[in-house]
Amino acid sequence: MPITVLLAGDRELERQAIRRILQAHAEIELVGEATNFPQATQMSNDLKPQVIIADLHMPDEARVSPIEVVTLLNAGASQLLVISIWEDEEANVLSNNFGAYTLLDKNDLGRALVPAILAKAAELRARSAGNS
């Protein structure tokens, strides 16, 4: 069974590139795409993805706080993977505040995105098997 993924990013070209990367792997199912945090929240509640890929610096007109993002993730039991053009101290702090399990550089997604998702999938399967 493939791991389900929701993609949240405001730039269409970036979403297209990420979509192509994900669709090349049968073990990953892209279940939806959101263009802002409120839409991602709604789609997460509706679709219950296992992983949410979110652009850390996506404009946020609704002023979603890290606490709201963590609440969203806890409600849907999703894991957050954030992407950013910057991997500096600020990005790391924001990533940690959002409760992300990893922060990936957008310039490295072709190499790093799928392994990061598949590693999380393996961890979730092992956790699920341990609870059975």
Q: CA 48 to CA 29: how far, in whole Å?
A: 12
Could you tell me the CATH superfamily of domain 3-131?
A: Response regulator (3.40.50.2300)
Q: What's the predicted TM-score (pTM) here?
A: 0.85
Q: How far is CA 79 from CA 3, 61, 93, 99, in A?
A: 11, 23, 17, 8
Determine what percent of the chain is predicted with pLDDT higher than 70. Answer: 85
Q: Give the chain's mean pLDDT.
A: 84
Does 127 or 64 have the greater pLDDT score? 127
Residue 6 confidence (pLDDT) above 60:
yes
pLDDT of residue 22: 97
Q: How far is CA 85 from CA 4, 55, 57, 116, 131, in A?
A: 24, 9, 9, 17, 37
